[in-house]
Amino acid sequence: MRVFVAGASGAMGSRLVPQLVEQGHEVIGTFKSPGNLERVRALGAEPLALDLLDPAAVRSAVLEARPDAIVHQATALANLRWSRNMDRVFAQTNRLRTEGTDALLAAAREAGVRRFVAQSFASYRCARVGGPVKTEDDPLDPTPPAGMRESSAAMRYLDDTVSKAGGIALRYGGFYGAPNDGWADLVRKRQFPIVGNGGGITSFIHLDDAAAATVIALEDGAAGIYNIVDDEPAPVREWLPVLADALGAKPPRRFPGWLARLFAGDVAVMMATEARGASNAKAKRELGWTLRYPSWRQGFVTAYEVTTATDRGAGLATQRSGM
């Protein structure tokens, strides 16, 4: 297929493009920052500068490229900083998830594009009632904390609009697998504490597994929503010390809930103490997807082994691999 990947230069797009090329697809890869042209070309795609928030530019880019399929992987999360008002931090990404999705879908209709897949998110979104792990059919949180209401609404919009249009929304877990993963730096600096009982559940996914699921969904998936997460949704109190160790950082600090609420806000406390995780049963069953990194337990160690060993001195990698 001729595949138009919007956001080919990002964390996800840059893992996806090589896998698509390896499967024999021809890829047009878009980027926003001018410096990324050669990066996209090196991934194996035909590079194209595009601002997804310019609907006229999206229309002509898609009509000209004449793809069989479109994958929307555009977000604006580079240099993300924690804030009690995450809606402000996510404002541009929310526009990419609403206006950007609309522009791509309109262009797709006009160009007769047959397949459409878009990036969504799995963690922290389900109603905070009942069991710890939720499926795609479980209700979303009707009352997200102030500070993430617009972001929740934008993700819901993307899920609904894409699936109603006959496309696929992939609710990815928290990405990891790159040396510059967003949360790795916070954990290295001990700025990511265990709050309260640390019972909030997170679902993770290694970038390579997420890209593999995306290729399958694009080629064969039925319209709808799929959680693309690993096999082990886990509470913060379990995964955070393992991540800190894998990164060669000191163990995480512990903060009481009231103090975290005061300094970091309601969104942080919800994620740390109440959030529900996501089940990958549907994606495995319906897409036939298998994971190379079924759990963050092994995934974190593999992902950060090289950087950590470099940081600590050459001996550690040898120690960890038991040689």
Ligand X SMILES: NC(=O)c1ccc[n+]([C@@H]2O[C@H](COP(=O)([O-])OP(=O)(O)OC[C@H]3O[C@@H](n4cnc5c(N)ncnc54)[C@H](OP(=O)(O)O)[C@@H]3O)[C@@H](O)[C@H]2O)c1
- What minimum distance in Å lies between the beta carbon of 270 and ligand X? 17
Q: Which is nearer to ligand X, 116 or 172 (CB)?
A: 172
DSSP three-state, residue 279: coil
- What minimum distance in Å lies between the beta carbon of 231 and ligand X? 17
Cβ proximity of 227 and 282 under 8 Å: yes
Q: Which residue in the block uniquely carries the two structure tokens 């995934």?
A: 299
User: Within its chain, how far is the Cα of 94 from the centroid?
Assistant: 14
By the 10 Å C-beta count (0-12 exposed, 13-18 middle, 19+ buried), 184 is classed as: buried
- What minimum distance in Å lies between the beta carbon of 310 and ligand X? 19
- What minimum distance in Å lies between the beta carbon of 322 and ligand X? 30
* Distance between CA atoms of residues 276 and 273, nearest Å: 9
- What minimum distance in Å lies between the beta carbon of 39 and ligand X? 8
Q: Which is nearer to ligand X, 261 or 291 (CB)?
A: 291
Residue 114's CB: how many other CB atoms inside 10 A? 12
Closest residue to ligand X: CB criterion: 10
In the complex, the residues that contact ligand X under the rule CB under 6 A are: 7-13, 31-33, 36, 50-53, 74-78, 80, 96, 121, 172, 174-175, 181-182
Cβ proximity of 96 and 53 under 8 Å: yes
Q: Which is nearer to ligand X, 185 or 286 (CB)?
A: 185
Q: Which is nearer to ligand X, 78 or 281 (CB)?
A: 78
Q: Which is nearer to ligand X, 115 or 206 (CB)?
A: 206
Q: How far is CA 279 from CA 59, 79, 137, 230, 284, in A?
A: 36, 29, 10, 8, 10
